[in-house]
Amino acid sequence: MGFWDDVDRHLVRYSAAGRFTPEVIVRAEGSYVFTESGRRILDFTSGQMSAILGHSHPDIVATVRRQVGELDHLFSGMLSPPVVELARRLAGSLPAPLAKVLLLTTGAESNEAAIRMAKLVTGKHEIVSFARSWHGMTQAAAAATYSSGRKGYGPTSPGNFAIPVPTRFVTDWRQQLDLAFELIDAQSVGSLAACIVEPILSSGGVIDLPEGYLVALSAKCREREMLLIVDEAQTGLCRTGAWYAFERDGVVPDILTLSKTLGAGLPLAAMVTSAEIEQRAHERGYLFFTTHVSDPLVAAVGNTVLDVLERHKLDLRAAESGAFLRDGLLALASRYDVITDVRGRGLLVGLELASDEVGAAVTKRCLSLGLHMNVVQLPGMGGVFRIAPPLTATRDELTEGLEILGQALAEV
């Protein structure tokens, strides 16, 4: 039996499409992955939007090799120096009063921890999120996810509400937000605990919230004594040209969640909140005791990620590379009418196409030419390419990706 026969026989298909990329990947380095047949493929999604330092970064490799030989995993009630150091450094990178850190494994887990804390400290249970949100596949995170995966699983957690996304077609987002919360107030049973949002909705089509939106949303939360949870799984740690995307609006969330970019491809996530909120949660018996909470191996990796980001000023590099990438995509848009929008920040860019079919065909052709792309297909949006190369990608690599994309568009 061959590789793909074993896939068909033994692997659970975990996406609705039920398809895997038709290449067997055996190695990855920098901005590229390499197939069993010897092909080199430029990775324009940083793995699962996570490998911000590229694949097999030498500093990460050295840290893993050293740390796994010294201290990899502990009883969850035990602490180690890498954990405390990473918590201190994350708090130091954030505005006050964000100071208390819980280290976990995945984005879903960090959002689960955040929602659980919000419910406990407010004594309420209702959660508001965007109608095109993606926050994870565990109980509370999935209940707050609307972009896909809701049908067929029975009731979600009670008290979840969706508000519309301020897309480029919305002429007055303030009015839209006012109307959204009028509807929330009408449906609420008086138990609004929190609102959880991404500053740029990635799976929702790379929709960048308008400047000032988070300020207005924060005010809506304060009026209702709700907490504001900002999910920066994909936008945190320099991806958008700033350390954190929420900083642009001058808003500080009550709870911040980090994941994908924090481990640069390894399973590391964090929930960060204020000392006041943490104290209230602790007094009420907050419980989030998991197998891999505060694991030293991935915490050491997180510290190395911060080292590389700081040493190479990758926030500035992401801003510069993002501008270069955006200019290249706008040039393609001027040549092909099927491209209807280019948007995003830094090295998280969305390229919207008028047709789902064109998006699927371009994705397939790009892969055959040596470029891995990801297209999001949502009702009413055509296809949206989520373009997120590593922050370490060179100009030559970005140019290569643009050239392959241009060729695929021309042929399709």
Instruction: Dump the DSSP string for 54-70.
Output: -BT-HHHHHHHHHHHHH
Q: How far apart are CA 328 and CA 102, in angstroms?
A: 40
What is the C-alpha radius of gyration for the chain, rounded to an integer number of angstroms? Answer: 21
Length of the chain: 412
Question: Do the Cβ atoms of 370 and 403 come closer than 8 Å?
Answer: no
Output the pLDDT for position 379. 63
> Could you give the domains of the chain?
3-57+313-411 (3.90.1150.10), 71-311 (3.40.640.10)
Instruction: Say how far apart CA 300 and CA 281 lie, in whole Å.
Output: 27
What is residue 118's predicted lDDT score, i.e. its pLDDT? 98
Active site members: 134, 198, 231, 234, 260, 386
Tell me the CA distances in angstroms from 300 to 58, 98, 250, 306, one per residue in order.
14, 21, 30, 10
3-state secondary structure of 9: helix
* Beta bridge mates, 272: 101, 256
Report which of 33, 28, 45 is spatially closest to residue 388, judged by C-alpha positions.
45
pLDDT at position 66, please?
Answer: 98
Bridge partners, 280 (sequence order): none
Cα 244 to Cα 236: distance, rounded to the nearest angstrom:
5
Specify the 3-state DSSP secondary structure of 137: coil
Where do the DSSP E strands lie in 171-248? 192-197, 200-201, 207-208, 227-231
The one-digit pLDDT tens for each residue of the chain (412 residues) are 799 999 999 999 998 777 899 999 999 999 999 999 999 999 999 999 999 999 999 999 999 999 999 999 999 999 999 999 999 999 999 999 999 999 999 999 999 999 999 999 999 999 999 999 999 999 999 999 999 999 999 999 899 999 999 999 999 999 999 999 999 999 999 999 999 999 999 999 999 999 999 999 999 999 999 999 999 999 999 999 999 999 999 999 999 999 999 999 999 999 999 999 999 999 999 999 999 999 999 999 999 999 999 999 999 999 999 999 999 999 999 999 999 999 999 999 999 998 888 999 999 999 999 999 999 876 655 689 999 999 999 999 999 999 999 999 999 9
The per-residue pLDDT for 380 is 59
Rounded CA separation 72/74 (Å): 7
8 A C-beta contact, residue 282 and residue 274:
no
Q: Is 375 helix (H, G, I), strand (E, B) or coil?
A: strand
348 in the Ramachandran plot: left (φ > 0), alpha (ψ -120 to 50) or beta?
beta
Q: Whose structure tokens read 């001027």? A: 334
Within 10 Å of residue 78's Cβ, how many Cβ atoms? 10
Q: Are 30 and 392 in contact (CB under 8 A)?
A: yes
What is the DSSP secondary structure assignment for residue 210, as one 8-state letter? P
Residue 106, classed as helix, strand or coil, is: coil
Strand-strand pairing, 25-29 and 32-35: antiparallel
In this prediction, residue 204 carries a pLDDT of 93
Which pLDDT score, from 0 to 100, does residue 310 have? 98
What pLDDT is attached to residue 394? Answer: 98
User: Between the CA atoms of 166, 169, 171 and 176, what dihedral angle is there, to the nearest 10 degrees?
Assistant: -40
First to last CA, the chain: 35
Q: How distant is the alpha carbon of residue 97 from its chain centre?
A: 23
Q: What is the pLDDT of residue 356?
A: 81
